[in-house]
Amino acid sequence: MKITSAKFIKGIVDDNPSLEDGKPQIAFIGRSNAGKSSLMNSITGFKSLARTSKTPGRTQEINLFLINDTHYFLDLPGYGFAKAQAHTVDKLNKLIYWYLFSSKQNPKVVVLIDAEIGPTKSDFGFLDAIEKTGKEVIIVANKVDKIKKSHYGNQIKKLAAQFPNHKLFPYSSKTKVGKEDLIAELLS
Ligand code: GDP
């Protein structure tokens, strides 16, 4: 399975009827700096589809992309918000909360973690909340290129054990290892 087209549709700021056209939605979320923008750019093959955290701009909305004319990818603001102002944080939290917890949307949720660091308290906190909604969740462990070869097997085993209820996809936005499996899962 391949991604042949990816178009930025719009930045969502509140409930939006054009989301309800029945195309499957895949929402990407993770702690700031886990590499969400890098992941979205590397799987689509479009280098500047999602902006990285070093180029602030679109990161304060939910960005909607149409993939292959069949699926939507949604780039959700990262939880963590290290650099954002308090009022922006509040607006972002409300937006994420609306989309994931109180709207009628039923996306597959991709939770991105840093494979080298492993899941943090805020990752588990978010996971706990999203699991309660019954939405399908998959975990992408990004940055596997940073794990020492000798430690790789153990680290992946440890990560899998930390997420017993979800599929885990080891991935690297840098080397693109794991790309085919991940795309197949996302577009299935
Ligand atoms: P975001 O805040 O989650 O959107 O994170 P970014 O995509 O901006 O990435 C944060 C930092 O991690 C940047 O310096 C990226 O170059 C780096 N990064 C992202 N993915 C990878 C990866 O797979 N491997 C390595 N080594 N670095 C990565």
Q: Which domains occur in the chain, in start order?
A: 6-186 (3.40.50.300)
**Per-residue model confidence (pLDDT) at position 104:** 87
Ligand 1 centroid to Cα of residue 53, in Å, is 9
**Per-residue model confidence (pLDDT) at position 55:** 47
What residues pair up with 108 in beta bridges, in sequence order?
26
The pTM for the full model equals: 0.91
Atom of ligand 1 nearest to the CA of 30: 3
Atom of ligand 1 nearest to the CA of 38: 7
Q: Which residues lie with the beta carbon below 6 Å from any ligand 1 atom?
A: 30, 32-38, 52-53, 78, 142-143, 145-146, 172-174
**Per-residue model confidence (pLDDT) at position 62:** 85
If one residue of 43, 52, 76, 147 were mutated to test the ligand 1 pocket, choosing by the most ligand atoms within 8 A of its CB, it would be 52
Whose alpha carbon is nearest atom 2 of ligand 1?
33
**For the chain, which ranges sit under pLDDT 70?**
15-18, 50-60, 80-89
Atom of ligand 1 nearest to the CA of 175: 23
Ligand 1 centroid to Cα of residue 145, in Å, is 11
User: What is the spatial order of strands in the sheet that 137-142 belongs to?
Assistant: 6-12, 62-67, 71-75, 25-30, 108-114, 137-142, 167-170
**Per-residue model confidence (pLDDT) at position 147:** 98
Label the pairing between strands 137-142 and 62-67: unpaired
**Per-residue model confidence (pLDDT) at position 73:** 95
**Per-residue model confidence (pLDDT) at position 93:** 76
Q: If 0-12 CB within 10 Å is exposed, 13-18 middle and 19+ buried, where does residue 88 land?
A: middle
**Per-residue model confidence (pLDDT) at position 23:** 94
Ligand 1 centroid to Cα of residue 33, in Å, is 6
Atom of ligand 1 nearest to the CA of 146: 26
